[in-house]
Chains A and B, each alone.
Chain A
Amino acid sequence: MPDAETGTTTNTTVSEPPRGGRGGSLPLIFVLLGAAGFSASLTAVYSAMRDLMYSGGSCASGGPYAIQNECTGGQVALLVGGILAIIVFGGVLAAASSRYGGASFLGAGLLMWAALFGALGFNFIQLGFDPPQNMHGAAGWILSGVVFWLMALGGLIPGLAEVKSFVARGDRPEPSMFTPPLVRAKATVAPMPGFPHGLPGAASQPEPDQPVRPRPASSDGPFIDPVTGKPTEDQS
Chain B
Amino acid sequence: MSKGIIWLFTVVAGSVAGVVLGIAIAGSAL
Q: A: which residues have CB within 8 A of B?
A: 21, 23, 28, 31-44, 46-48, 51, 72-75, 77-78, 93, 97, 100-101, 108, 111, 163, 166-171
Complex interface: chain A residues within 8 A of B7 (CB): 28, 31, 97, 100-101, 166
- 7 closest A-B pairs by beta carbon, nearest first, are A43-B22, A39-B18, A35-B14, A167-B4, A47-B26, A74-B29, A40-B22
**A-B contact list, 21 entries, CB within 8 Å:** A21-B3, A28-B10, A31-B14, A35-B10, A35-B13, A39-B14, A39-B15, A39-B19, A42-B18, A43-B23, A43-B25, A44-B29, A47-B22, A47-B23, A73-B29, A74-B30, A78-B25, A93-B11, A97-B7, A168-B4, A170-B3
The B interface is mostly helix, strand or loop, or mixed, namely helix
B16's closest neighbor in chain A, by CB? A39
Partner of B21, one of A32, A36, A78, A167: A36
Q: How distant is A48 from chain B, measured CB to nearest CB, in Å?
A: 7
Assess A78 versus B15: contact at CB under 8 Å? Given A28-B10, A47-B23. Answer: no
Inter-chain contact B14/A44, CB cutoff 8 Å: no
Tell me the smallest distance from the CB of A73 to a CB of chain B, in Å.
Answer: 8
Contacts of B14 in A (CB 8 A): 31-36, 39
In contact, A31 and B11 (Cβ under 8 angstroms): yes
Chain A contacts for B4, CB-based, 8 A: 101, 163, 166-170
Q: Considering only CB atoms, which chain B residue lies closest to A111 in the complex?
A: B11
Chain B interface size range: 20 to 34
B29 touches A36 (CB 8 A): no
